[in-house]
Amino acid sequence: MVLRLAIPVPLRRLFDYLPPAGLNPANLQPGQRFQVPFGKRDLVAVLVEVAGDSPHAELKPATACIDPTPIFDARSRHFLQWAADYYQAPIGELYAAALPVALRRGKPADHWAEQWLELTTEGKGLPETALARAKKQQALLQLLLSSGRQSRTALNARGLNSSVCKALIERNLAHWVAGPTAPPPLEEVEPRPAPELNDEQRHVIDSVPATGFSASLLEGTTGSGKTEVYLRLMERALRDGKQALLLVPEIGLTPQTLRRIAARFPDFRIAALHSGLADGERARAWLSAASGVADIVIGTRSAIFTPLPRLGIILIDEEHDGSFKQQDGVRYSARDLSLVLAKNADIPVLLGSATPSLESLHNALSGRYQHLRLRHRAGNAKPPQISVVPILHQQLQEGFAPQVLRHIGETLARGEQALVFINRRGYSPALTCDDCGWLADCPHCSAKLTLHRRQRHLRCHHCDYRMREVHSCPQCHSRNLNALGAGTERSEDFLTHSFRDFPVIRVDRDTTASKQALDKLLEPARNGEPCLLLGTQMLAKGHHLPKVTLVVIQDADGGLFSADFRAPERMGQLLEQVAGRAGRGDLLGHVLVQSRYPEHPLLQLLLNKGYGAFARQLMDERKIAQLPPLRAMALVRAECEEPRWAEEFLANARDYLQALAPPSPELQYLGPVPALLERKSGRFRFYLQITAEKRGLLQKLLAQLSQWAEGNRNRRLRWAIDMDAQELS
């Protein structure tokens, strides 16, 4: 017998090993982990297949079998293989991406095994009103009667400690049994009943079939109650005894989101999977999902790879968000994969957004997805009123027009909240010398250093290079240094000074190192006190703050003139999302958009007609330019300290591909061209862009290319295939 194993190394193949000495072959099952010797290292591998023999001579035995039973079921193994093929990625790296770190390192799953308290036959026969004289015991009995057996962790989290359990056990009503891992308990919250659905919401929910594969796009304006739709669809799956998977953007998995879900589903087990968890907690959450114990799984992109044996529905919140696409390693899109998974599992998938990606919109408009809409805000909220503030010939104060400052002041004076959006953190994005023209550049990247005055350093936002803040020019020693432009720190100083009577809350990656920090920072805003919120795109999404009645977009022009064809789409999404934070409660919201190009047709379209019309216009442009989503696109990327080698590698790759499939109206090659960020961390970066009318042809070419590239690369060069690339940077 031969084990065919997926090993976490960058090679696109499986590896054959003999079973570990002494292991009964009857106990071999695909999906188990094994410890294997690999070169000089000891690695953790996953059994993909048991074969009768191997073409390779002299196989080594695996060291040990880690799992007595598989931790990947057949469906998830099939799914991982599909993803490896589609993204031209090594299968071992996909298994590694699927596993939480602790399991990737080979920790046995039973390390997190749990004790469960279960009712005896006698206990099950009691009415809920029994044990009325012992309140805690009664509460425990009722819980076990209504929700079934409970893990020790969950009972402790509810304040039902071991003495209460012991009392029930002594009465012979319950007993402990060993069982699977339970999810780490979430913060205790008051259960909150669901609001009455409005007609639009009800229509959307009724349109999503409860069973069988279906794909739907929910295009729902900001504040229209999309989250409520997700909750109802989840509930339906849960009541059918199924698991629900909700994927959210990286910054979307906040304690606030979790509280909202926990408050709705007090009787279900919720596993949250995100990078903020400690390794052990993450393994616990993953195992509870994979064993089918967790009913609801909420996670960021890699949660798509968690085996979910009872999966009944997949929901993707803010489906347009860039964080669903991994930008290094295995460059997968969790959003795109969710469709494949839903198809495999024969269940519905719903992608929701106020600002759908052009990819999803195209699928909806062409009938591949069901297109569902929520056109109105939920409850009493009205759409915000948007106006443009031209700033070209205006006397600005630290980047703000006088009427904008006046509006902020009036909003605060009325006891309401204002939100200022600045898409740039730090104090200033450039430090120059007024005498000799010196500019603070990153020595390793083709980028300027950002001044972070609070930390007294200059920092590269691409490679994290840091140098101490300088007060005289390193080149000519002049003291006339000039910080050009403003980031959040600088605006914070100015706004704090201008509105002394009100708290100014700055929200960006520097003030919110942990997810809890964001939650805490926003507390005054949630409590409804008048305050001024100031921040980057962390403020743009998901927050529901009813007292925010004014939103200021300090500079709307960012995406208008970029070399990245997706820049206007991203700009439109961001502006619409930020604007959507205004007036979500009973009070009407206003949005002020500062721009140097108030007449720009794209900006006009976005502000007057909204994102829907704007996106459809961009779609027409993509059609003419033969770009995604009308075409399939992949990038072959290469980077190297020696730019010539990267360029040469890609030129050869292009020659190789063109010999297989010459350029034609259906298949186009562009490049090699330098990436938008040409040099990063000391390496020069180039790409070759391939667009094709037929995805299948592109797939075939890329598969051949990856074989070719293994044998034709300089060892100091890094290359990657980026299928459905999202960034040209």
Ligand X SMILES: Nc1ncnc2c1ncn2[C@@H]1O[C@H](COP(=O)(O)OP(=O)(O)OP(=O)(O)O)[C@@H](O)[C@H]1O
Binding partner of residue 445 among ligand X, Zn ion, none, CB under 5 to 8 Å per kind?
A: Zn ion
Map residues 574-613 to x or -, x wherever contact with ligand X holds by CB under 6 A.
------x---x-----------------------------
DSSP code of 638?
A: E
Helix (H, G, I), strand (E, B) or coil at 473: coil
Query: How far apart, in whole angstroms, are the C-alpha atoms of residue 287 and residue 108?
Result: 11
Give the nearer residue to Zn ion in terms of CB position, either 49 or 641.
641
Binding partner of residue 460 among ligand X, Zn ion, none, CB under 5 to 8 Å per kind?
A: Zn ion
Bond before 443 cis per omega within 30 degrees? no
Map residues 653-682 to x or -, x wherever contact with ligand X holds by CB under 6 A.
------------------------------
Told to check if 224 binds ligand X by CB under 6 A, we report yes
**Selected range binding ligand X among 219-227, 423-431, 604-612, 658-666, rule: CB under 6 A:** 219-227
Give the nearer residue to ligand X in terms of CB position, either 428 or 573.
573
DSSP code of 110?
A: G
Which residues does the annotation place in the binding site for Zn(2+)? 433, 436, 442, 445, 460, 463, 473, 476
Sign, Cα dihedral of 520, 523, 459, 729: positive
Give the nearer residue to ligand X in terms of CB position, either 542 or 572.
542
CA diameter of the chain: 88
Binding partner of residue 610 among ligand X, Zn ion, none, CB under 5 to 8 Å per kind?
A: none
Query: How far apart, in whole angstroms, are the C-alpha atoms of residue 248 and residue 298?
Result: 7
Told to check if 195 binds ligand X by CB under 6 A, we report yes
Report the 10 Å Cβ neighbour count for 78: 14
Residues in contact with ligand X, total (CB under 6 A)?
A: 20
Give the nearer residue to ligand X in terms of CB position, either 92 or 225.
225
Report the 10 Å Cβ neighbour count for 474: 12
Give the nearer residue to Zn ion in terms of CB position, either 524 or 682.
682
Told to check if 201 binds ligand X by CB under 6 A, we report yes
Query: How far apart, in whole angstroms, are the C-alpha atoms of residue 510 and residue 514?
Result: 10
CA neighbor of 541 nearest in space, from 515, 563, 573: 573
Binding partner of residue 220 among ligand X, Zn ion, none, CB under 5 to 8 Å per kind?
A: ligand X
Query: How far apart, in whole angstroms, are the C-alpha atoms of residue 543 and residue 546?
Result: 9
Query: How far apart, in whole angstroms, are the C-alpha atoms of residue 727 and residue 461?
Result: 16
Shortest reach from residue 252's CB to ligand X, in Å: 9
Please report where in the chains the tokens 């739907």 appear, as a residue.
216
Exposed / middle / buried, residue 281 (Cβ in 10 Å: 0-12, 13-18, 19+)? middle
**Token pair for residue 262?**
């926990």
Give the nearer residue to Zn ion in terms of CB position, either 156 or 446.
446
Report the 10 Å Cβ neighbour count for 229: 25
Contact 350, 313 (CB under 8 A): yes
Shortest reach from residue 312's CB to ligand X, in Å: 21
Map residues 354-393 to x or -, x wherever contact with ligand X holds by CB under 6 A.
x-----------------------xx--------------
Instruction: Name the amino acid, one letter, at 627.
Output: L
Q: Which residues bind Zn ion (CB under 5 A)?
A: 442, 444-445, 460, 462-463, 465
Query: How far apart, in whole angstroms, are the C-alpha atoms of residue 349 and residue 363?
Result: 13
139's CB contacts (< 8 A; 6+ apart) are 160
**Selected range binding ligand X among 108-116, 124-132, 195-203, 456-464, rule: CB under 6 A:** 195-203
Told to check if 256 binds ligand X by CB under 6 A, we report no
Among 150, 227, 363, 512, binds ligand X (CB under 6 A): 227
Binding partner of residue 442 among ligand X, Zn ion, none, CB under 5 to 8 Å per kind?
A: Zn ion
Which residues does the annotation place in the binding site? 433, 436, 442, 445, 460, 463, 473, 476
Map residues 487-526 to x or -, x wherever contact with ligand X holds by CB under 6 A.
----------------------------------------
Binding partner of residue 443 among ligand X, Zn ion, none, CB under 5 to 8 Å per kind?
A: none
Told to check if 457 binds ligand X by CB under 6 A, we report no
Shortest reach from residue 728's CB to ligand X, in Å: 27
Give the nearer residue to ligand X in terms of CB position, either 540 or 638.
540
Q: Where are the beta strands (DSSP E) in 288-355?
A: 296-299, 311-316, 348-353
Q: In what order do the strands lie in the sheet with 174-179?
A: 150-151, 114-119, 174-179
392's CB contacts (< 8 A; 6+ apart) are 596
Give the nearer residue to ligand X in terms of CB position, either 218 or 720.
218
- Main-chain dihedrals φ then ψ at residue 665, nearest 5 degrees: -60, -20
Nearest-Å Rg of the Cα atoms of the chain is: 28
Residues contributing to the site for ligand X (CB under 6 A)? 195-198, 201, 220, 222-228, 354, 378-379, 542, 544, 580, 584
